[in-house]
Structure 1
Amino acid sequence: MKTTIKFLLIIVSFGITSCNDAKVDKNIAMYTQTWDQIINDGNLDLINDTNFTEDITMVSSPENVVGIDNFKAYYSNFVTGFSDVEFTIEDVFGQGDKLVKHWNFKGTHSGEFFGMPATGNTVDVTGTTLVTMKDGKIAKEQDFFDNMVFLQQLGVLSNPDNVNAINHLYNSFAAGDIDSVLAGLDANVVWNEAEGNAYADGNPYIGPEAVLNGVFARVGGEWDGFKLVNIELHDMSNNQVLATLRYNGTYKKTKKSIDAQVAHLWTLKDGKAIAFQQYVDTKQLADASK
C-alpha cells in the first residue's frame, strides 16, 4: 500500500512539473517573440492588451511606468531614437509566472531619445530584466543594467578615465616619450592647430603620423626647451577634456622666448583621443619667430 501511494505521488508530482514546464516554455516563447518584433522590427503596435496586461508596470525611478499607453510611449524612444538596432535575448529562464531575461542592445543614436537630439553615437549595453507574466500576458518588468555606461556611450556623461588618459599623454610628452603620445591617439585622430599658428598650415592633421611629421617634428626642430607647464585638466561632458596650460620655449633662429597662454580641447572614444583643438596666443608665437 505504501509503495502504491508513493508511486501515485511521483506520478502527480511529475504531472505538475510537466504542466509548469509547459507553462514556462509557453511564456518564454510568447515573451521573446513579442520583444523581438517590438524592438528589432520596430512594431510598437504589439504593445497592446493582447500581449500586455492593462496595468503593465515597468518598475522604474523616480516613478513606475504604468499602463499600456505609457509603456508604449516609453519604448517609442528606443524604437525612434535608434537605428541599426540589434536586440538580442542572450538567455531566458523561469519558474511559474516569473521569468529572468539576459539581453543585449546595440544601436546608433540617430533620432530624438527622451528629448535628447541625435548624437550619432553607438551604444552596446547588456542587462537583465525580471519579468512577471499573468494569464499568458506580460504584467511587470524591471530592468537592471549599467546606466552610467549607457549615458557615457550616448555622450551625456564622460568616461571617468578620460582625464587619466590625457594626463598620461602630457606626462609622456614631458618625458620625451613621443611614441606613447602617438599611441594614445586614435588611428584617425583629427588634429587642429589654432588658426593663425604657423603649424595650422596642415589643418586638419589626420592620424598620428601626420601629427608627428606636421607638428611634433617641426616643434622639435624649431624650438629649444619647449615644454608644457601649469597644466590643469577639466573633465567635460560628451567625452571631452579641456586642458589649460602654458607654452615655454625659445625659438632657435631668433633666440626669443615665449610664455604663452594655451588651451587644448580633447575628444576621446574608448580611451583614445579622436580629436584635438588647440587655442593659443598666436601673436606671441609669431613675434618670437621674427
Structure 2
Amino acid sequence: MPDAVDEFYAATRRADAAGILALLHPEFEAHTAPGMPCGAGGAFQGPEETLARVWGAVFTDYDTAPYAETRHRTEDGMIVVTGRYRGTARATGRGYEAEFVHLWRLTDGRISWLHQYTDTARWREALAS
C-alpha cells in the first residue's frame, strides 16, 4: 500500500504542485543539498515555501523527476530512499542523471521532514553553456 512518500514521487513525475502540497504536513521542514542550482539548496520551512523555492525553482529550470530504486525503514521510523534524478535542463537541452538519498519522516500520514543528498555537480553541468 503506497504511503505519502510513494505518492510524492508520483506527484513529482506529474509535476503536480497541488498533489505535492496535499502530501506535506503543515509543519513540513526540508534540508536540501547545498550547491543545488536555482537557489534550491538549504533549509526551508513549510509546504508553500518549499514548493516555491525548491520544487518550483527546479521545475522552472529542469524537466526532471526523482526515480526511487531502494527503500528502507529504520527502527525509529525514518524512511530512507535511494535513487536517481533524471531529466533535462530547459535552457541547454542537456540531459543529466544524479544519484540521491532522501531521508523522510511522516507525521499523521503526511510528510513532515525531508533531508536530501544529491550530486549537485551533475545538475549544474546540465545547465552549463
Between the aligned partners of 1:169 and 1:188, the Cα distance in structure 2 is: 16
Three-state SS of the structure 2 residue aligned to 1:279 is strand
Three-state SS of the structure 2 residue aligned to 1:204 is strand
Please point out which of 257, 262, 267 is paired with 2:105. Answer: 267
Between the aligned partners of 2:69 and 2:46, the Cα distance in structure 1 is: 24
**RMSD of aligned residue pairs (Cα, Å):** 1.8
One-letter code of the match for 1:172?
A
Q: What are the equivalent positions in structure 2 for 1:199-214 lying under 5 Å apart?
A: 199-200=40-41, 203-214=42-53
CA contact (8 A) 2:9 2:67 kept: no
CA contact (8 A) 1:239 1:269 kept: no
1:246, CA displacement in angstroms? 0.6
Q: Does 1:183 align with 2:22?
A: yes
Between the aligned partners of 1:279 and 1:288, the Cα distance in structure 2 is: 18
For residues 252 and 172 of structure 1, do their structure 2 counterparts lie closer, same or farther at Cα, with a shift above 3 Å needed? closer
For residues 212 and 230 of structure 1, do their structure 2 counterparts lie closer, same or farther at Cα, with a shift above 3 Å needed? closer
- Structure 2: any 5+ residue segments left out of the alignment? none
User: Which structure carries more helix by proportion?
Assistant: 1
User: Which structure carries more strand by proportion?
Assistant: 2
Structure 1, residues 6-59: CA drift from partner, whole Å, max 9, x if none?
xxxxxxxxxxxxxxxxxxxxxxxxxxxxxxxxxxxxxxxxxxxxxxxxxxxxxx
Partner of residue 173, structure 1? 12
1:248, CA displacement in angstroms? 0.8
Between the aligned partners of 1:231 and 1:175, the Cα distance in structure 2 is: 18
1:288, CA displacement in angstroms? 1.6
- Structure 1: any 5+ residue segments left out of the alignment? 1-160
4+ residue stretches of structure 1 with deviation over 6 A?
none
Structure showing greater Rg: 1
CA contact (8 A) 2:61 2:90 kept: yes
What percentage of residue pairs aligned between the two structures are identical? 27
* TM-score normalised by structure 1 residue count: 0.41
Partner of residue 34, structure 1? none
Q: Does 1:284 align with 2:122?
A: yes
* TM-score normalised by structure 2 residue count: 0.86
1:232, CA displacement in angstroms? 2.7
Between the aligned partners of 2:15 and 2:36, the Cα distance in structure 1 is: 23
1:230, CA displacement in angstroms? 4.3
Three-state SS of the structure 1 residue aligned to 2:3 is helix
Between the aligned partners of 1:180 and 1:285, the Cα distance in structure 2 is: 24
Between the aligned partners of 2:7 and 2:123, the Cα distance in structure 1 is: 26
Three-state SS of the structure 2 residue aligned to 1:238 is coil
CA contact (8 A) 1:233 1:244 kept: yes
Please point out which of 60, 72, 75 is paired with 1:221. Answer: 60
